[in-house]
């Protein structure tokens, strides 16, 4: 049986970014069920980094991460947040939240917002105000995953693809991890299985944390205007977002949250229709035949905050889960946290500087809540 120091379950952005850091400290293996990294949530994301996030902790992790991203994984790209009628208070709240981390953000009139995105409708059903962040980031999930994979391999680590973890047990000081092709003995297991995080824990006899997958739908369609350079445009409350894909295509989501079991998520027809309808309501666009559609799972802890920490009842079993709709944009900071927590290193200055502590991320907080 092969011995490793760190065995990471799941080659999404969470698992790979953490593994690349852990590989500097000991032998690291990532077991991935699929035949390549990023098949699930990480490869289906809208891949944008901004501060329109409800939780302070997520905004703080985003601020730390934005400073750490490197091209080509992240490029500056503007973000425009628009209020529909009744969302004026949400726009005020967003502006206040935003200023803590990105004071350059600017309030725009409806007319000024329309200069950036000319199809935005005003009047009935249209927008009533906007906020512009010229320094948000467009992320490239594939480039980020590949950079982490290369860093992992350069440090002597590896990814085992088509290696679903089927059983887990603690023997002595080690976790014995079974996959169909091989078994491994690991000092530490990092559970970065995304929507399957609770399932993986339960395989090892560890109580679930209540990580809940919620399905989100995306459509893309061609438009008869040049959208290159348009900002990522998102309503501040229920509504939609749109994002340019090249010059003649838009990506849109109705920001749905459909309940789902952990699975290869597929778009539901009613969510696809909702995406098209919401875009048509608030813009002058008509959504023609779709170029593509897909769905992915965003997995949340009960308090909708990310988890990075050892399970209090299972020595050597580390949770890295609950990245919800912010797993890409918080991944550099989360990977630093995992490195420090797993190896017993000093708490990173980058996290200290934004006020994030280990306790905020700990799995214990959810056990205390359940108790
Ligand atoms: C439509 C959509 C839009 C989004 N937009 C954004 C955005 O703009 N910005 C942002 O930051 N985030 C966004 N997100 C969220 C982001 O994609 C996720 O938070 C992130 O990808 C989660 O990463 P992960 O590594 O935890 O999960 P995943 O990428 O799902 O990786 C988990 C991996 O674990 C593997 N696995 C599971 N069980 C096992 C097992 N037993 N053995 C081995 N491997 C296993 C799976 O195959 C999978 O590859 C979006 C998500 C969706 C769906």
- Annotate 202-224 with DSSP letters as a single string: HHTTPPP---EEEEEEEEEEE-S
Tell me how many degrees the CA angle 247-250-251 measures, rounded to the nearest 5.
Answer: 135
Q: Note the pLDDT of residue 43.
A: 98
Separation of CA 127 and ligand 1 centre (Å): 32
Separation of CA 147 and ligand 1 centre (Å): 17
Is the CB of 307 within 6 Å of ligand 1? no
Separation of CA 326 and ligand 1 centre (Å): 10
The greatest distance separating any two alpha carbons of the chain, rounded to the nearest whole angstrom, comes to 68
Is the CB of 48 within 6 Å of ligand 1? yes
Instruction: Name the E strands within the chain.
Output: 2-9, 28-31, 48-49, 74-76, 79-84, 106-108, 127-133, 137-139, 158-160, 167-171, 174-178, 183-191, 212-222, 232-235, 241-245, 249-253, 258-259, 290-300, 307-310, 317-321
Best residue among 257, 327, 361 to mutate for probing ligand 1, ranked by most atoms within 8 Å of CB = 327
Closest CA to 268 of 282, 283, 281, 257: 257
Q: Note the pLDDT of residue 125.
A: 83
Q: Which atom of ligand 1 is nearest to the CA of 215?
A: 53
144, burial (CB in 10 Å: exposed 0-12, middle 13-18, buried 19+)? buried
Atom 22, ligand 1: which residue's CA is nearest? 327
Is the CB of 9 within 6 Å of ligand 1? yes
Is the CB of 217 within 6 Å of ligand 1? no
pLDDT tens track, the chain, 371 positions: 999 999 999 999 999 999 999 999 999 999 999 999 999 999 999 999 999 999 999 999 999 999 999 888 999 999 999 999 999 999 999 999 999 999 999 999 999 999 999 999 998 889 999 999 999 999 999 999 999 999 999 999 999 999 999 999 999 999 999 999 999 999 999 999 999 999 999 999 999 999 999 999 999 999 999 999 999 999 999 999 999 998 999 999 999 999 999 999 999 999 999 999 999 999 999 998 999 999 999 999 999 999 999 999 999 999 999 999 999 999 999 999 999 999 999 999 999 999 999 999 999 999 876 65
Helix 56-66 vs helix 88-101: angle between axes, to the nearest 10 degrees? 50
Domain residue spans of the chain: 2-42+141-211+303-370, 78-135+213-298
Separation of CA 249 and ligand 1 centre (Å): 24
Closest CA to 33 of 194, 142, 171, 157: 194
Is the CB of 40 within 6 Å of ligand 1? yes
Best residue among 7, 9, 10 to mutate for probing ligand 1, ranked by most atoms within 8 Å of CB = 10
CATH homologous superfamily of 2-42+141-211+303-370 equals FAD/NAD(P)-binding domain (3.50.50.60)
Q: Note the pLDDT of residue 369.
A: 66
Residues 36 and 244: their CA atoms lie apart, in Å, by 27
Helix 13-22 vs helix 331-343: angle between axes, to the nearest 10 degrees? 50
Q: Note the pLDDT of residue 124.
A: 83
H/E segment holding residue 66: helix 56-66
Residues 142 and 162: their CA atoms lie apart, in Å, by 19
Is the CB of 325 within 6 Å of ligand 1? yes
| CA contacts within 13 A on the Cβ side of 28 | 30
Is the CB of 239 within 6 Å of ligand 1? no
Phi, psi of 150 (to 5 degrees): -65, -40
Is the CB of 10 within 6 Å of ligand 1? yes
User: Are the C-beta atoms of residues 128 and 88 closer than 8 Å to each other?
Assistant: yes
Q: Note the pLDDT of residue 323.
A: 97
Q: Which atom of ligand 1 is nearest to the CA of 16?
A: 25
Best residue among 38, 45, 148 to mutate for probing ligand 1, ranked by most atoms within 8 Å of CB = 45
Closest CA to 347 of 360, 359, 357: 357
Closest CA to 62 of 133, 121, 128: 133
Atom 50, ligand 1: which residue's CA is nearest? 45
Could you tell me which CATH number the domain at 78-135+213-298 has?
A: 3.30.9.10
Question: In this structure, how many other beta carbons lie within 10 angstroms of the beta carbon of residue 291?
Answer: 14
248, burial (CB in 10 Å: exposed 0-12, middle 13-18, buried 19+)? middle
Atom 20, ligand 1: which residue's CA is nearest? 327
Atom 37, ligand 1: which residue's CA is nearest? 193
């Amino acid at each position: 049986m092969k011995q490793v120091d760190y065995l990471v379950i799941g080659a999404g952005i969470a698992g790979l970014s953490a593994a690349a850091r852990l590989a500097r400290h000991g032998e690291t293996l990532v077991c991935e069920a699929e035949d390549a990294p990023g098949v699930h949530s990480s490869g289906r994301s809208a891949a944008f980094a901004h501060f329109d996030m409800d939780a302070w902790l997520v905004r703080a992790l985003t601020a730390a991460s934005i400073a750490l991203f490197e091209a080509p994984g992240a490029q500056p790209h503007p973000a425009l947040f628009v209020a529909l009628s009744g969302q004026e208070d949400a726009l005020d709240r967003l502006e206040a939240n935003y200023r803590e981390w990105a004071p350059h953000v600017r309030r725009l009139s409806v007319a000024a917002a329309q200069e950036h995105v000319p199809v935005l409708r005003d009047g009935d059903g249209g927008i009533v105000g906007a906020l512009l962040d010229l320094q948000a980031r467009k992320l490239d999930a594939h480039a980020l995953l590949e950079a982490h994979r290369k860093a992992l391999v350069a440090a002597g680590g590896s990814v085992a693809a088509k290696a679903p973890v089927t059983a887990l047990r603690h023997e002595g000081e080690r976790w014995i991890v079974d996959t169909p092709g091989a078994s491994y003995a690991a000092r530490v297991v990092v559970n970065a299985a995304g929507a399957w995080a609770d399932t993986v824990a339960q395989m090892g006899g560890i109580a679930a944390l209540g990580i809940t997958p919620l399905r989100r739908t995306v459509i893309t369609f061609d438009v008869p205007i040049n959208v290159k350079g348009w900002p990522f445009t998102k309503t501040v409350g229920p509504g939609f977002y749109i994002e340019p894909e090249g010059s003649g295509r838009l990506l849109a989501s109705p920001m749905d949250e459909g309940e789902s079991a952990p699975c290869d998520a597929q778009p539901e027809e009613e969510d696809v229709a909702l995406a098209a309808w919401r875009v048509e309501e608030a813009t002058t666009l008509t959504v023609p035949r779709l170029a593509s559609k897909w769905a992915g799972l965003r997995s949340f802890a009960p308090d909708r905050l990310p988890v990075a920490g050892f399970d209090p009842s299972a020595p050597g079993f580390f949770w890295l889960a609950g990245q919800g709709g912010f797993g890409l944009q918080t991944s550099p900071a989360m990977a630093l946290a995992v490195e420090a927590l797993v190896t017993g290193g000093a708490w990173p200055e980058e996290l200290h500087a934004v006020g994030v502590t280990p306790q905020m991320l700990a799995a214990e907080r959810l056990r205390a809540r359940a108790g």
